[in-house]
Structure 1
């Protein structure tokens, strides 16, 4: 799990200069999810939010169809994304746990986001929505989603007694 250097998230210039995956993975995941839902490259997706238990860090927003998910890593099996997130935060904070909720607010609305302690699109140095759309456009959604879906269908090997 990548950890940002202290102070980067509070410095608009340094935050904006982060590579896309780090920018959208560590503080602007809601913007990426909102841009995806604004112009969905695949149908049937909705936002979900990882909400850490009281006293812990590790909030994250991604989009999913219930089986596969999309975030700054690209497409993956939803359960794999959740497992990766849990493993990373559990290593940093003993007892880390969370709740998963369906997003029921506009991921690109500043007032809605500020109520949940997230920055709105107009509170970044430049336009994060355009940046998210450029990031999304670089992906082969059909192929990457199909690859992620195949990982959900792989079954455990059958054990044979000898």
Structure 2
């Protein structure tokens, strides 16, 4: 009696039987067709592969979990790639905006110098284009003025910063 007790405990502690390569290949081929099994299909597969229906159910549950994790990893990689691309584009646009702001300030300085001599720099419509900055760059406004009119026609806030 004592000798049978350790054998029982030993068999309970051992890992359950692993699937054979053929069983896994068959289960994988079924999984490619359908990721969830109806009870009758599960019973048939278990019978065909000499497994318990519970083993088939657990294998499919674990396989779905691995499939979902892999899909999430792929989606993450795709989103990260898109984010990285957009981040590079954003940085390029920020550099271009900064360059344009510098050019705008230089043109503004030229305009101020030209105004002192009553010579204006204008766009194609005969309007003077000026830019002025508030206390910081976030408060920039572009102002359009007619050459003959000193009144401001419109002010456009620096909306791309928000």
TM-score under structure 1 normalisation? 0.24
Greater fraction helix? 2
Larger Rg belongs to: 2
Q: Which has the higher contact order (CA 8 A, sep 6+)?
A: 1
TM-score under structure 2 normalisation? 0.24
Greater fraction strand? 1
